[in-house]
C-alpha cells in the first residue's frame, strides 16, 4: 500500500516500511517508544535483507501486541521471551531447510 508523507512541505508517495516507520512520531511517550521499536525492526531488516521491511514491521507489531496482552493477562514476561526465542530458532531452522538457491528469474515462482 502507498502512504502519502508530507516531507518538507511537499507530498511524497512511498510504499516501503522503513521510510514509513522513520516518518512516524507520536506525541504519547509510551506509544512513541513502540513506534521507535518498529522503526528499529524496519531499519535492521532493511540493513540485513534490503526488503521485507513492511512484513517485518507488521509481524513485530503483532508480536508486541500479543506479548503485552499475555503479560497483562498474567503471563510471566521472562517465560514469554524464552518462548519467543525458541520459536525464532525453530523458524530459522525450518526456513534454512526449505531454502533453495536462486540463479535467475525462472527460479522465482
Give the SS3 label for residue 11. Answer: strand
Whole-angstrom Cα distance, residue 76 to residue 29?
24
Give the SS3 label for residue 39. Answer: helix
What are the pLDDT digits (tens) for 39-97?
A: 999 999 999 998 898 899 999 999 999 999 999 999 999 999 999 999 999 999 999 99
Read off the pTM.
0.75
Give the SS3 label for residue 28. Answer: coil
Other residues' Cβ atoms within 10 Å of the Cβ of residue 32: 14
> Would you list the domain boundaries of the chain?
3-75
Amino acid at each position: 500500500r502507498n502512504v502519502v508523507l508530507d516531507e518538507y512541505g511537499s507530498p511524497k508517495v512511498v510504499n516501503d516500511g522503513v521510510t514509513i516507520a522513520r516518518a512516524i512520531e507520536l506525541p504519547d511517550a509510551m506509544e512513541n517508544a513502540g513506534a521507535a521499536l518498529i522503526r528499529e525492526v524496519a531499519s535492521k531488516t532493511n540493513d540485513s535483507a534490503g526488503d521485507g521491511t513492511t512484513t517485518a514491521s507488521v509481524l513485530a507489531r503483532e508480536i508486541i501486541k500479543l506479548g503485552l496482552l499475555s503479560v497483562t493477562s498474567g503471563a510471566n514476561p521472562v517465560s514469554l521471551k524464552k518462548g519467543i526465542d525458541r520459536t525464532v530458532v525453530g523458524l530459522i531452522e525450518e526456513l534454512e531447510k526449505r531454502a533453495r538457491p536462486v540463479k535467475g528469474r525462472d527460479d522465482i515462482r
